[in-house]
Structure 1
Amino acid sequence: MIGPLSFFMMTFMKYYLLILHKDDIREGIERIEWDWRNIEHREDKSIMLQHATYGRKIVAVCTFFVYSAFAFYYIAVPVSVGKVVAEGGNFSYTPLPFPASRLIADVYHSPSNEIIHSIQVLTGMVMHAVTSAACSIAAVFAVHACGQMQVLINWLGHLVDGRSDMSNTVEGRMATIVSQHDRILKFIALTEKAMQQISFVEFLGCMMNMCLLGYYAIMEWNSKDAMFVITYMSLMMSFTFNIFIFCYIGELVAEQCSKVGEMTYMIDWYRLTGRKKLGCILIIAMSNSSTKFTAGNMVELSINTFSDVVKTAVAFLNMLRAMT
């Protein structure tokens, strides 16, 4: 029961952290609304729509994996196992997903068994909703930041020659670009502040549960219980996908931040007269020192981090197998 109980503690901590950072999350949503209200040009709207659609797809896939694991663990396994006959054969009961104290009720006799089981299934729905919500909020915020970065890159392409909806002077266009860049960096910093502790809980919890689920699957494979193997594999895919999303969005944001600096250098900045070129240096410098997503401000979230998590989980799995 170490795996299920650790998932329960993970979810409780993520729920607490979501409540703790509710003001930051609300502010992030308000910033997203402001960006949508103040976008005007057709090209910029198209870019934002593409990223919004991509964000919704990530949320849909995340929810699918999370609730697929829920369906197997809370519904498919009890149905496949059926009623367990107690020692002596006097009564039968439905096995519970989580342990329950006998001080609350006698969970082996009807109707307490059915009531406690129903409560645990409803609790499982809430816990998986919290897991899906934490991952979805991080993904939506990060993808929106990437969309704003792409809009900024589009603006940089029109810095020298201008565009119909932009200022008539280079100074005015430069001021708008720098202001937008500063706003995006503040939004990324807000997202990092709201999600870094949740990312840390997800980082440690997923790594441990991936190890345990691998061990559970191997043990059930030896006993040739196909339903339990499928359940543990679906749970492992869910945890793997969750930590992958956090690492992927961290990589995505870092890559988009660096692209702003690259685009600033690639424009025809040499056509700018006088000291107008110095504004480009400021944008490049800020792109190279921009905020990155971290887990607890200790581990940078990137694809390399995800590969390290998988390798660490496999290493602990091999150690667990050797010990048993």
Structure 2
Amino acid sequence: MTICAFDITATDAREAAGDTAPEGGYRWVHFDLTDADLPAYLEAHVPAIPAAALTAPETRPRADRYGDGLMLNLRGVNLNADGPADQMVAVRMWVTAKLVVTVRVRKVFALDAMRTEASQGDAPATPMQFVSTLATRLMSRVQDTVFDLSGRVDEMEDSVQDDDAPLPPELAEERRMAIRMRRYLAPQRDALVALVGIDSGLITQANRDSLREQANLAKLTVEELEALISRMTAVQDHHTAQAALMQGHTGYLLSIVAAVFLPLGFVTGLFGVNVGGMPGIDTPWAFATLCISLVVMTVGAVWLLRRLKWI
């Protein structure tokens, strides 16, 4: 059973009736990939190669012409509760002048919004307007997600101003999110650019202009994601450098202390042995002399280290 099916004309949209698309319009049929009726419908209405593309277990964004139709795959952010936004949802499409078939695995909110509008009699007048509207809504949600991520990265960069601030615990996950989104959106950018250049009678100049804007938005979004990844890497590098600097400073101080107290430890260890023949054993002022000698040695060690510019 289909998720929905509508017959759409320039002035109306209503639930599909009969076996053919309306005169002067097209039919939109929307399936879930697990729908048991999908294989039979595709066998009856869609050529074999596009049908295989619609039911492929894995997809990537694409835009290819096949005969008088178009095979399209687009992705949008996952707004479902079953996963993070960067676990993007896919829309598979077969588009001709009289038929639009869409297939999804997870719920796609942009398609659900178009479904609601179609049930109210409002839908894109042509198949390519349908594609353009869907691409616009998908990219709008992607851009909102990237803007939110950019705001969080701004906050991380602000934390860099405070050298004592700890490394943001969410940094690693946010960077992985940006990398995963770039992985899917870079092919989507290429697919939208390819779609603009396809020579097909389905695509009017107005469609090309609208799709070109979405392709440009996809380019800007990918560039923004690449910039965000670099910015988060810089934040990580700053905190790593601060930690290394602090560790090096601590090690340096310990080395100075060790250098100062090394001769003192030698002298006190030497005079602490319990054997005969140690000088000053029978002299009352020998202990005071030893203490004064240790102070002089400490001052001398500090003076020498400063003279050598080690401190």
Please tell me the TM-score bracket, short chain as reference: 0.3 to 0.5
Higher relative strand content: 2
TM-score normalized with structure 2 length? 0.38
Higher helix share: 1
TM-score using structure 1 length: 0.37
Greater relative CO, 1 or 2 (CA 8 Å, sep 6+)? 1
Determine which structure has more spread, i.e. the larger CA radius of gyration.
2
